[in-house]
Amino acid sequence: MPFLPFPLFTDVLLWLLMGAIALYVWYCSRKPHLGAPWARVFQSRTAAICAVVFGCYVAIGFADSLHFRVRLQQAAGSEGTPYSPAVLSVLDLALTHLRERRERTYSAPLATRLYAKEQFEIDGKPVRDFPRLRYGGARLQDEAERPRDIAARIGLGLFVAAFAAVLIGLAVKRLRRRRPQIPWSAGGATLLGVLAAALPVLFLSFEYHVFGTDKVGQDVLYQALKSIRISLIIGTLTTLVLLPLGMALGVMAGYFKGWIDDAIQYLYTTLNSIPGVLLIAAAVLMMQVVIDRHAEWFSTAEQRADLRLLVLCAILGLTSWTGLARLLRGEALKLSQLEYIQAAHAFGVADTRILTRHILPNVAHIVIIAMVMDFSGLVLAEAVLSYVGVGVDPATTSFGTMINAARLEMGREPIVWWSLAAAFVFMFVLVLAANLFADAVRDGFDPRVRMGFVPA
């Protein structure tokens, strides 16, 4: 076998979460009362557009969550099959041309020379100039041909996008006949726009560094694409910790009231009184000490970094459940006073049955809305924590580490702006799509909404 599958902790949890979401979609498709709110969500053009954009991010993130180790050539007389210590992903394999082409240091987007002058010899004479890049535009015999070559590659990408537009148009017509209430045209136009932007970048990336290179000469576009997985993990796996705590404590506080309510309120009020960044920083640093003392737990550096990422998700979940608990406490207080709940008490129905059959189904829409709206906040939280040095492992590429590295680059002369710009653009599009989709989900699950998005 030329490679050895090497799933990380977060890979397994991410795929399990994806399976749970697929199971939920299947269950909703069999229950009309559960599928109706989602049908209202995707009747919105905004939701269709954001779903396409977010789906592109998810596809990149999951391609980066299939890890493996490459088999090495076996030495004569050795036993066993040797594998490389480096852990790669399917995304790394697809972006080999970006991952392996490293320059010496900074280079501007689409440049053919380094960003700083160096002293070198030409015909035995010392010259101080901008040296040519080893890979960026290396095939060009004359640098004057660069604008023409860039235009040709962009044109080729747009030509392929135009061909894809025909296929998308045919698919949209067929889908519109089956489900005319869904704005397939908006989704198809968005997908076409993504391809029109991505395909020229793809063709340019085989010859140039589209977003330049960083201090160690690594391609910035590769770093930005690798950062997507970290944001998705932070935004989704944190819910595995946040959701059970927030739901259980919030519903218990609102339903049982009395001393249980007082104790839970005291708990989340005390937790909210502690500065969140300080609490997370203290927990991350303590876990880092444990990881450093037990280096034998990890066979690769990627496993070590992945455990820190998993710990960060757990800590964010343990410190972020209070908002959901407050919302569910208020809703459970209201529901516990309704007539059918009082009737269930009068007939002697057990509290556990009331909670599972009457309370939890009626707060599910609040949970879904809160989870979707919290996603963007968690993505931004990772960027802030990594910027201050208590987020993901420094060796892990994320939007936060890119911004942290760009902090010093912005203070040099001439200024290196492209690392910060790339991280900002990719993170801005992801957060904007998540926020707009969250608004559509909130409107679709609003109990007052009966037709479209117009309150009754």
Helix (H) or strand (E) holding 68: strand 67-70
Report how far apart, in Å, the C-alpha atoms of 282 and of each of 157, 230, 232, 393 are: 48, 21, 24, 15
Q: How many Å apart are CA 404 and CA 355, to the nearest integer?
A: 46
- Positive or negative torsion for Cα 20, 25, 31, 36: positive
Position 446 scores a pLDDT of 66
pLDDT digits (tens, 9 = 90+) for 241-288: 888 888 999 999 998 888 999 999 999 888 888 887 788 888 888 888
Helix (H) or strand (E) holding 259: helix 258-273
pLDDT digits (tens, 9 = 90+) for 388-407: 777 888 888 888 888 888 88
Position 295 scores a pLDDT of 79
Which architecture does CATH list for 228-451?
Orthogonal Bundle (1.10)
pLDDT digits (tens, 9 = 90+) for 186-198: 999 999 999 999 9
Other beta carbons within 10 Å of 392: 24
Model confidence band, residue 453 (pLDDT cutoffs 50, 70, 90): very low
For 88, the 3-state DSSP assignment is: strand
Position 69 scores a pLDDT of 86
Instruction: Give percent above pLDDT 70 in the chain.
Output: 96
Asked if residue 180 has pLDDT above 70, the reply is yes
- Positive or negative torsion for Cα 220, 224, 229, 234: positive
Give the CA diameter of the chain. 99
Closest alpha carbon to 245 in 308, 313, 320: 320
Q: How many Å apart are CA 321 and CA 374, to the nearest integer?
A: 10
> Dihedral angle at the C-alpha atoms of 302, 303, 306, 307, nearest 10 degrees?
-150
Average pLDDT, whole number, for the chain? 86
pLDDT digits (tens, 9 = 90+) for 238-248: 888 888 888 99
Asked if residue 358 has pLDDT above 80, the reply is yes
- Looking at the DSSP assignment, which residues form a beta bridge with residue 5? 68
Asked if residue 167 has pLDDT above 90, the reply is yes
Q: How many Å apart are CA 196 and CA 207, to the nearest integer?
A: 19
- Looking at the DSSP assignment, which residues form a beta bridge with residue 113? 132
Model confidence band, residue 455 (pLDDT cutoffs 50, 70, 90): very low
Domain boundaries, the chain: 228-451
